[in-house]
Chain A
Amino acid sequence: MSDPAVRLSGLRKSFGAVHAVTGVDLDIADGEFFAMLGPSGSGKTTVLRMIAGFESPTSGTVELGGVDVTRLAPFERDVNTVFQDYALFPHMSVLDNVEYGLRVKRVPRAERRERALAALASVRLEGYERRRPGQLSGGQRQRVALARALVNRPRVLLLDEPLGALDLKLREEMQVELKSIQREVGITFLFVTHDQEEALTMSDRVAVFDRGRVEQVGTPAEIYERPATAFVAGFVGTSNLISGSAAQAVLGREGTFSVRPEKLRVAALGDPVDGAEHSATGTVSEVVYAGPATRFVVELDAGGRLIALQQNLQVSSMDVMGLRGTKVRLVWHRRHEFAIVS
């Protein structure tokens, strides 16, 4: 078993009285596409900056490929970063930007030219070599930043909110493109995002951060289907909690439970319920028609509220709007409800 590409052990970082990172342990495997997901201020960017070497940890260690790099300067580490604002050098052409890392490492001119052109080709930017960053669109700048980092063939590529500055359409395109570039080059990608959808669609594994700690690490499916804590349940998708007396009444159990909205079926009060299913009755307080699906907000008779998402397979907005204010029964399979730590 080879060493992980990145290993973080007991990593902490405090800025004066502010504890940005309060103990992070993570192993990221070679070739993995790994996301650090969390709200702003959750410490994910600080962790990324400690891996890059821009911040030194208050305590704990950073290992790259089994080598402790905690005390090394950024330019001594085999990682490269795609910055949130891209940080392209405005006084250099696109080609000079991409060649920069090879130039300061004294790679011969011919070889660095060749590698830079190949890197630009891999991000589909042939023909832009002579442009200045100021003459490029946001999406093109993003790809220059990517090429500038990838050309060095780092052990790990760090991406800080790489798609944050792009508009929605471009962001979706780049999600697909980043994923395919990563598969092609086989470099470990470690990226920071606050967008749960982005984390779920792109990554092999996700670490969910909250208040300087990792709440849960897992595949997107694990994170979504089996959130370990109430925070994860709420941050990744809609939490839909059943707790306290409602849990007693509906499930006959103590604790806090969660069911994802799309796992709920909106049924009539008298509909039969399978032995493998649970159900709860309530009143529809809100109906939101969103094209392919409709969102129902249901106030449970037992207390609390659940949101149910139904695909509009055979219904139109006229049909579903009429359900507001009516009594319904929400039905779900037992295996889709899960206990969470609150």
Chain B
Amino acid sequence: MNLSRTARTTLWAALAGGLAVVYVPLLIVLLNSFNADRTFGWPPAGFTLRWWEAAWNSAGVRDALWTSLQAALGATAIALVLGTMVAFAIQRHSFFGRDAVSLLIILPIALPGIVTGIALNNAFRTVLEPFGMGLGMFTVIVGHATFCVVTVYNNVLARLRRLGSSVEEASADLGADAFTTFRLITFPMIRSALLAGGLLAFALSFDEIIVTTFTAGAGVKTLPLWIFENLFRPNQAPVVNVVAAALIILSVVPIYLAQRLSGGEAGAR
């Protein structure tokens, strides 16, 4: 389509403005993590790695990071298993209520976190407490898994839909039993979808705060919870800044990889 010069300039300006609103603050967080001035004066007073060092040596940050990693890995593992299974069920079999099940699987990602959080909090306390179990790491993982399943499910479902079932029939036709077919044909063909879905699930879980607030017990502090707690303590501000900067980098990588994996395959076909 041909656009006039003015239209093109305006659209470019609009794009730049929109992106700036999102990315300039992020950039400032990154820059400030190296800012020698404790109160983040502008322009930066000088370059320092002091805050990075302080964050690295902070036991609170380390514990929170480790907690977050455990929660994200746990939620991702559950999401990979359940999401893949349900995607196969929906795509390869027809059964009563299939559309309803599909909707129920996707719904948690659209549900406000606060609703999921309150509901899970009530449920966990009602069901688990009689057994002497309280809120803790397990409940955080389950809470995160409710919406992490969706990303794996969507990725695998889309892949299965595109593959069709004729390659699996071809494999059986050439003499491979069901297990061999899965190992040599189906799994390699959905592998990148699993990875993409898993990375997205990991990223979703890693920075989740609302559901976490309601499902984490007293002893469990994920990185987002730690940040929120320390945000308004003036002497912790530089360290919070460093953690935020580190999180930006940590979450960009999996999203970038996930997008390349799901987009790259499509382009190669």
* A335 touches B (CB below 8 Å): no
Measured between C-beta atoms, what is the minimum distance from B186 to chain A in Å? 10
Binds B, one of A77-85, A224-232, A266-274: A77-85
Contact A87 B166 (CB under 8 A): yes
* A169 touches B (CB below 8 Å): no
Measured between C-beta atoms, what is the minimum distance from A89 to chain B in Å? 6
Contacts of B171 in A (CB 8 A): 89, 100, 104
Measured between C-beta atoms, what is the minimum distance from B97 to chain A in Å? 18
Measured between C-beta atoms, what is the minimum distance from B42 to chain A in Å? 52
The answer to whether residues A83 and B169 also contact, given A90-B189, A134-B269 and a CB cut-off of 8 A, is yes
B177-209 near A? 1/0 per residue, CB < 8 Å = 100100011001100000000000000000000
A147-181 near B? 1/0 per residue, CB < 8 Å = 01100100000000000000000000000000000
Cα separation A80 to B92 with both chains bound (whole Å): 23
* A105 touches B (CB below 8 Å): yes
Measured between C-beta atoms, what is the minimum distance from A20 to chain B in Å? 17
Contacts of A100 in B (CB 8 A): 171, 174, 176, 184
B142-166 near A? 1/0 per residue, CB < 8 Å = 0000000000000000000000101
Contact B170 A87 (CB under 8 A): yes
Contact A89 B172 (CB under 8 A): no
Contacts of A134 in B (CB 8 A): 268-269
The answer to whether residues A81 and B170 also contact, given A91-B189, A101-B175 and a CB cut-off of 8 A, is yes
* B27 touches A (CB below 8 Å): no
* Chain B residue nearest to A81 in the complex (CB): B173
A96-127 near B? 1/0 per residue, CB < 8 Å = 00001100110000000000000000000000
* B26 touches A (CB below 8 Å): no
Return the contact of B175 from the options A54, A87, A89, A105 (Cβ within 8 A): A105
Return the contact of A85 from the options B166, B172, B175 (Cβ within 8 A): B166
Cα separation A73 to B178 with both chains bound (whole Å): 10
* A65 touches B (CB below 8 Å): no
* Chain A residue nearest to B168 in the complex (CB): A87
Return the contact of A104 from the options B164, B166, B174, B269 (Cβ within 8 A): B174
* Chain B residue nearest to A132 in the complex (CB): B268
Contact A74 B173 (CB under 8 A): yes
Contacts of A85 in B (CB 8 A): 164, 166
Pick the most buried of B164, B174, B185: most chain A CB atoms within 10 A of its CB.
B174
* A52 touches B (CB below 8 Å): yes
Measured between C-beta atoms, what is the minimum distance from A131 to chain B in Å? 13
* B101 touches A (CB below 8 Å): no
Contact A75 B269 (CB under 8 A): no
Measured between C-beta atoms, what is the minimum distance from A173 to chain B in Å? 24
Contacts of B167 in A (CB 8 A): 87-90
Contact B269 A91 (CB under 8 A): no
Measured between C-beta atoms, what is the minimum distance from A47 to chain B in Å? 16
Contact B269 A152 (CB under 8 A): no
Cα separation A242 to B175 with both chains bound (whole Å): 52
Contacts of A91 in B (CB 8 A): 188-189
Pick the most buried of B167, B175, B188: most chain A CB atoms within 10 A of its CB.
B175
* Chain A residue nearest to B174 in the complex (CB): A101
Measured between C-beta atoms, what is the minimum distance from B263 to chain A in Å? 16
Contacts of B269 in A (CB 8 A): 90, 134
The answer to whether residues A104 and B184 also contact, given A83-B166, A134-B268 and a CB cut-off of 8 A, is yes
Measured between C-beta atoms, what is the minimum distance from A148 to chain B in Å? 7
* Chain B residue nearest to A74 in the complex (CB): B172
Cα separation A88 to B164 with both chains bound (whole Å): 12
Contact B169 A54 (CB under 8 A): yes
Q: Which 4 A-B pairs have the closest CB atoms?
A: A101-B174, A87-B170, A87-B166, A74-B172
Q: List 9 A-B contacts (CB under 8 A).
A: A54-B173, A81-B170, A85-B164, A88-B170, A90-B189, A100-B174, A101-B174, A105-B175, A152-B174
Contact residues of B with A, CB < 8 Å?
Answer: 164, 166-167, 169-177, 180, 184-185, 188-189, 268-269
List 17 extra interface pairs beyond A73-B177, A75-B175, A89-B189, CB under 8 A: A53-B172, A54-B172, A74-B172, A74-B173, A81-B170, A87-B170, A89-B170, A89-B185, A90-B189, A91-B189, A101-B175, A104-B174, A104-B175, A104-B184, A105-B175, A149-B173, A152-B175
